[in-house]
């Protein structure tokens, strides 16, 4: 099916970007808003976004005029009578969407495809409200639509054959990568991303580590574009809270129940960037006082480089050191209790080449903890102070996400390559979850998940059977067709 004329309903954050994407690809666009005031705002979004592209030299002024010239703006839905496709981007409220789709069903030709940009609502429920359920799909763009290269194309059990492939081909024409999936809450990206963000909030509530430290660990340790709390502020805590609620309603997985902290912040009106304050926006954190640095000791495998750097910086190793840096990827309390003075031991878990997670046990003294912080800084690493818990921060957040990706694939919902592409393009991650799993080592992740399960007794932390079996079979890569 050829799509030449498209309608976009709702020209807010997403709709204006989507209209721009279509017009850039040479399609004619009819943009519909609720009233004249909203229409003027929509026009403003389009003008500013294309204006910025001209300022940055990405678009010639003449091209901008052509793009804007292909977009007709209106407040009348009836103008959508002759389009081949409508993409809806009005607020995420099912009743609004159903009313709109009923109306579009009346207005548009029977062959017109009706698509929703909904992030979390049931496409099936929207399709079923129309007289053409076979022609209704999800076309889920990412924010900002002109920049992000991913589109999730969502088919339902009643979508007519060929429609998903046609919309995926259209996404390709727009310069996007399409991932075709079924109608499950959160699709691929939000289903994998939001539980990780929610768990980060949970970890902070448990006091395992603080906001800035968790953000630093995931950004610098894993190479993500930003930490979970910065991203939550960007997404909007209200949106995140609602999507979590939708995931929970479908899965009844308690990890999908929105973290109580999210609820509290949302109720207080602290929604993130859009309201000026969310996880961030309060007074900046005070730098901890400098410690009195004395002698150090390094124990455990893999600490030679760290000891070397500290010696090079002029620090002295001692048989009876002020602080013992115990390299470990598991809680260190069992090692601490064997020391004459357990208060001096701090667990050190190196993540990548920039981050050192510093685990304080229940016995670690304040002095030892702050000396460890200063020492690893001197060694050129970013310290991430945390509690002495399985997985510390990074593995506790990363491994369950990787496990979820394995389960998602194993359930037949999406292929390995699609899941990897979705997370790279939809979230700007440096690698997809299967690529991360393979570079970390499947056995390491499986064993880490077992340790997390043993610590937190969370059923979803148990290694996915596929992961476990691959490790048992001695396989280091996921089989791809």
Ligand X SMILES: NC(=O)c1ccc[n+]([C@@H]2O[C@H](COP(=O)([O-])OP(=O)(O)OC[C@H]3O[C@@H](n4cnc5c(N)ncnc54)[C@H](O)[C@@H]3O)[C@@H](O)[C@H]2O)c1
What residues line the site for ligand X (CB under 6 A)?
9-15, 32-34, 38, 89-92, 100, 117-119, 141-143
Q: Is 152 a catalytic residue?
A: yes
Q: Which of 140, 256, 349, 409 is the catalytic position? A: 140
CB of residue 90 to ligand X, shortest distance in Å = 4
Q: What is the dihedral of CA 70, 71, 76, 82, to 10 degrees?
A: 40
What tokens does 213 get? 């430290």
Summarize the chain as % helix, strand, coil (round to 5): 50, 15, 35
Signed CA dihedral, 173, 179, 183, 188: sign only? negative
User: Cβ closer to ligand X: 242 or 341?
Assistant: 242
Surface-to-core class of residue 128, CB atoms within 10 Å of its CB (0-12 exposed, 13-18 middle, 19+ buried): middle
End-to-end CA distance of the chain: give it in Å, rounded: 29
Strands 5-9 and 85-88, by their bridges, are parallel
Q: Of 118 and 360, which has the nearer Cβ to ligand X?
A: 118
Q: Is 34 or 466 the residue whose CB approaches ligand X more closely?
A: 34
Residue 134 CB, shortest distance to ligand X, in Å, is 22
Return d(Cα 167, Cα 151) in angstroms, integer: 10
Q: Which of 117, 118, 190, 403 is catalytic?
A: 190
- Closest-CA residue to 392 (of 345, 441, 358, 367): 358
Q: Single out the catalytic residue among 49, 117, 118, 119.
A: 119
Supply the minimum distance, in Å, between the C-beta of residue 50 and ligand X.
Answer: 17
Q: Is 45 one of the catalytic residues?
A: no
Cβ 435 to ligand X, closest distance in Å?
24
Residue 246 vs 384, nearer CB to ligand X: 246
Helix axis angle for 394-410 and 189-205, nearest 10°, is: 150
Distance CA 409, CA 429 (A): 18
Q: Report the 10 Å Cβ neighbour count for 99.
A: 13
Enclosing H/E stretch for 339: none
CB of 408 to ligand X, least distance (A): 19
Choose the catalytic residue: 20, 33, 88, 152: 152
Q: Which is nearer to ligand X, 266 or 384 (CB)?
A: 266
67 vs 145 by CB, closer to ligand X? 145
Taking the complex as a whole, the smallest distance from the CB of residue 204 to ligand X amounts, in Å, to: 23
Hey, which residues are catalytic here?
A: 119, 140, 152, 190
């Amino acid at each position: 099916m050829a799509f030449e004329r498209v309608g976009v309903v709702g020209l807010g954050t997403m709709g204006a970007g989507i209209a721009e994407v279509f017009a850039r690809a040479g399609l004619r666009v009819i943009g519909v808003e609720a009233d004249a005031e909203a229409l003027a705002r929509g026009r403003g979004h389009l003008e500013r976004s294309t204006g910025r592209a001209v300022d940055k030299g990405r678009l010639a002024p003449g091209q901008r005029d052509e793009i804007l010239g292909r977009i007709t703006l209106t407040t009348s839905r009836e103008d959508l009578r002759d389009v081949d496709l409508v993409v809806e981007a009005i607020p995420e409220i099912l009743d609004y969407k159903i009313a709109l789709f009923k109306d579009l069903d009346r207005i548009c030709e029977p062959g017109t495809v009706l698509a929703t940009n909904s992030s979390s609502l049931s496409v099936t429920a929207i399709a079923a409200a129309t007289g053409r359920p076979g022609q209704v799909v999800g076309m889920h763009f990412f924010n900002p639509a002109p920049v992000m290269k991913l589109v999730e194309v969502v088919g339902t059990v009643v979508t007519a054959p060929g429609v998903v492939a046609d919309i995926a081909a259209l996404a390709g024409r727009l310069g996007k990568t399409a991932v075709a999936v079924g109608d499950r809450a959160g699709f691929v990206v939000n289903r994998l991303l939001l539980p990780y963000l929610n768990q980060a909030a949970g970890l902070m509530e448990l006091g395992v580590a603080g906001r800035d430290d968790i953000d630093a660990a995931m950004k610098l340790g894993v190479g993500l574009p930003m930490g979970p709390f910065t991203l939550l502020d960007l997404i909007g805590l209200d949106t995140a809270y609602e999507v979590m609620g939708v995931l929970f309603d479908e899965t009844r997985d308690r990890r999908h129940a929105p973290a109580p902290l999210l609820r509290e912040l949302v109720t207080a009106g602290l929604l993130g960037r859009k309201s000026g304050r969310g996880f961030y926006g309060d007074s900046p954190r005070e730098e901890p006082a400098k410690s009195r640095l004395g002698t150090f000791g390094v124990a455990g495998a893999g600490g030679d480089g760290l000891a070397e750097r500290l010696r090079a910086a002029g620090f002295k190793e001692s048989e009876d050191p002020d602080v013992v840096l115990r390299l470990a990827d598991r809680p260190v309390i069992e090692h601490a209790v064997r020391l004459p003075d357990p208060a001096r031991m701090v667990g050190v878990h190196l993540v990548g080449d920039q981050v050192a997670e510093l685990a304080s046990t229940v016995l670690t003294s304040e002095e030892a903890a702050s000396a460890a912080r200063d020492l690893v800084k001197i060694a050129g690493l970013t310290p991430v102070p945390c509690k002495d818990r399985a997985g510390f921060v990074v593995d506790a957040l990363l491994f369950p996400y990787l496990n979820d990706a394995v389960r998602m694939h194993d359930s037949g919902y999406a292929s390995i390559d699609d899941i990897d592409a979705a997370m790279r393009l939809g979230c700007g991650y440096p690698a997809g979850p299967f690529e991360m799993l393979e570079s970390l080592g499947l056995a390491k992740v499986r064993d880490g998940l077992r340790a997390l399960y043993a610590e937190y007794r969370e059923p979803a932390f148990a290694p996915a059977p596929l992961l476990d079996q691959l490790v048992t079979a001695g396989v280091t890569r996921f089989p791809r067709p």
